[in-house]
Amino acid sequence: MWVPLRGGYPHCTLLLLRGEWMGRRGLPRSLAPGPPRRRYRKEALPALEVPVLPITTTEIRQYLRAHGIPFQDGHSCLRAPSPFVGASQFKDQTGVTTSFSLFIDKTTGRFLCMASLAEGSWEDFQASVEGQGDGAREEILLSEAPEAENSEEVRRIWDRAVPLWELPDSEEAQLAHVMFGLSKVTGDTLRRFSVRYLRSARSLVFPWFSSRGLGLRGLKLLGAEGQGNGVRYVETTIPRPGAYHNLFGLPLIGRRDVEVVLTSRELDSLALSQSTGLPTLALPRGTACLPPVLLPYLEQFRRIVLWLGNDLRSWEAAKLFARKLNPKRCSLVRPGDQQPRPLEALNQGLNLSRILRTALPAWHKSIVSFRQLREEVLGELSNVEQAAGVRWSRFQDLNRLLKGHRKGELTVFTGPTGSGKTTFISEYALDLCTQGVNTLWGSFEIGNVRLARVMLTQFAVGRLEEQLDKYDEWADRFEDLPLYFMTFHGQQNIRSVIDTMQHAVYVYDICHVVIDNLQFMMGHEQLSADRIAAQDYVIGAFRKFATDNNCHVTLVIHPRKEDDDKELQTASIFGSAKASQEADNVLILQDRKLVTGPGKRYLQVSKNRFDGDVGVFPLEFNKSSLTFSIPPKSKVRLKKIKDDNGLVAKKSSSGKKGAVSQNSEAGLDQASNPSQPDIPQPSR
């Protein structure tokens, strides 16, 4: 129902170490496997016109009972006998028979067989059960084999890396321990977790071993950079982040372990294991995402403690992940001065076992008292900037007014037809996405290919049709963004859209959903109904989704028809007052080009529920990069003068008379042709 672009870490950069530039995937050129090859994947193919409806837990249970398949109810998965292991039952390394080796996700229906490592969709499982899957079953099983190109690359790097405790140069070993804060981590701990050091890149190497001990499936390289008085870590994974599903420390977990501590970094897992002796696992993508494919590996635990970091973003991620894992078995370590992340706590000499005992249960009743909220209130008061949300890097004036982009809020955005609403909101969302905000785009008016082309141009800050030799370079970087697109187009039913959004939040941990625009949410079955009442219902559904899923929703709404010489107001939003009442933020793109000439656009913040600051600031459109945040290198200044009749005319500052084309800025005269979309056409 959506086309994913691989999610990635926002801090994958190029490093210059020992005079050697880091090549593809952040590896030294001597280890890089050569120029990247173009690969075409299923996700890039056109999607079906009719989206597949999501499966429910009740439907999964009914199907299993109807086919006589026994199952056990788990925390987030159902366990059943696997059709992929043949007649003989699977035995693990201890020789214990495990008949229920198939895990079926209660939310998505996706399955994983622990015996054969086969996985697939609910439709694949149905085909196997109903005898339609002999060929499909082989395809599912074969799909789990590691990619040849990755396995060769992984093995070459792993062989060149050396155990950190075996470095011949004592000064180099001491420098590595200091760089990564491992001064109090013993060699025995590093040996148990098989941590190595790549000297040519000055990076720690964390292995991804198969859960069945069949070999090395991938690696994570962790480099360190100095940043002010602190250290910034740069992560590079093989395979790329979207396919890297390593729960670091999983081979050390025993079959009878019932409690585990989840961390967001491998270094924290080392510190926790050494200090407490408890089973600990590090999430492959930190606080960015908890892929559902990992949930079967966590089913055996009755209690899960999430200790993800020492900031509010980590706290929000812990609460989100707990909902996925079943909050009744989860406890959260609250960030604080006396409760930093595990590695820092070890280096400060704090008692990590005592901190774990202070973990708060993630589940509580619907009614709470201030006693349960006082620590969260203190956290927001002591971390004002983090509580304000993610700040924009391209729009500093938005930071001045809105302070940041916060989860769980509803933003309503409007502007005149042809003013560039879609172009602006795509850059607005792209700015946040480049900072690690997982984003889902619902473009019901503009096709995904055209929207992605515009966003890629904004990302590259230049037109790539004039430099196609750089397309692969920019496309590879753009592909690593945690950006996804719905495949809906045209009129849609609101229930189908909400189901898709909830599914995306569960699978990809989406934090920001953009809906362009509200008018397309009026499904066909509502054509004869009161449109105002239908719009109020749709807005209420988006408001409820944002609150229940702690996800920010940006909703584009067309305004009422107003006179061209009048500025839009909050009351100009189409429909009743419910849109502005439900919204936490109201943004209005004011287009004054019909009065003051091309280029005169302003963004007005007319509502800000967070702290009440409202205001307006100018925007300048750059045709070459399709951006509003980067001013054009050269521009023609316009002055307003009066002719003999007292009418306002336009004259360039250079003294040359003449009209300025409306097309010179947006590529299309959208103001005179309302049927044209907001995204400009690239020049030829």
pLDDT for 449 beyond 70: yes
Pairing outcome for strands 203-209 and 230-238:
unpaired
pLDDT tens digit sequence for 561-590: 776 667 787 777 877 678 888 999 999 998
> CA–CA distance from 369 to each of 331, 358, 365, 550 (Å)?
19, 19, 10, 21
pLDDT value at residue 241: 86
Q: What share of the chain is helix, strand, coil (3-state, %, to 5)?
A: 35, 20, 45
pLDDT value at residue 365: 55
Q: Is the distance from CB of 364 to CB of 338 less than 8 angstroms?
A: no
- Distance separating alpha carbons of residues 78 and 94, to the nearest angstrom: 23
Report residue 138's pLDDT band, with 50, 70 and 90 as the boundaries: very low
Q: Is the distance from CB of 329 to CB of 301 less than 8 angstroms?
A: yes
Higher-scoring residue by pLDDT: 5, 469: 469
pLDDT value at residue 631: 67
pLDDT tens digit sequence for 323-350: 999 988 999 998 877 889 999 999 999 9
Lowest mean pLDDT among 180-189, 239-248, 376-385, 588-597: 588-597
pLDDT tens digit sequence for 13-47: 333 333 333 444 445 444 444 333 333 333 333 34
Mean pLDDT of 102-131: 88
Query: What element of type H or E holds 370?
Result: helix 370-382
- Distance separating alpha carbons of residues 511 and 437, to the nearest angstrom: 6
pLDDT value at residue 4: 42
For residue 606, give the amino acid letter: S
Mean pLDDT of 552-561: 89
pLDDT for 136 beyond 60: no
Say if pTM beats, i.e. exceeds, 0.75. no
pLDDT value at residue 3: 44
pLDDT for 137 beyond 80: no
Q: Is the distance from CB of 207 to CB of 233 less than 8 angstroms?
A: no
Would you say the C-alpha torsion 387, 388, 389, 393 has a positive or negative sign? Answer: negative
Query: What element of type H or E holds 638?
Result: strand 638-642
Would you say the C-alpha torsion 135, 140, 143, 144 has a positive or negative sign? Answer: negative
Question: Strand locations in 76-191, DSSP E?
Answer: 77-80, 90-91, 97-98, 102-105, 111-113, 119-120, 162-163
Burial of 86 (0-12, 13-18, 19+ CB in 10 A): exposed
pLDDT value at residue 368: 62
pLDDT for 682 beyond 50: no
My answer on whether omega of the bond before 622 falls inside 30° of 0, hence cis, is: no
Instruction: Using alpha carbons, select from 321, 311, 258 the residue that is nearest to residue 511.
Output: 321
Mean pLDDT of 440-448: 90
Q: Which residue matches tokens 């599914």?
A: 503
pLDDT tens digit sequence for 270-314: 999 999 999 999 999 999 999 999 999 999 999 999 999 988 889
pLDDT for 677 beyond 50: no
Instruction: Using alpha carbons, select from 200, 145, 264 the residue that is nearest to residue 22.
Output: 200
- What is the share, in percent, of the chain residues with pLDDT greater than 70? 75
> CA–CA distance from 274 to each of 181, 305, 353 (Å)?
14, 17, 11
pLDDT value at residue 519: 80
Mean pLDDT of 484-501: 88
pLDDT value at residue 127: 87
pLDDT value at residue 50: 43
* Structure tokens given for 494: 């609101």
pLDDT averaged over the chain? 78
Report residue 671's pLDDT band, with 50, 70 and 90 as the boundaries: very low
- Return the ∠ at Cα 639 (arms to 638 and 642), rounded to 5°: 135
Report residue 664's pLDDT band, with 50, 70 and 90 as the boundaries: very low
Neighbours of 498 (CB within 10 A): 17
- Return the ∠ at Cα 35 (arms to 236 and 200), rounded to 5°: 45
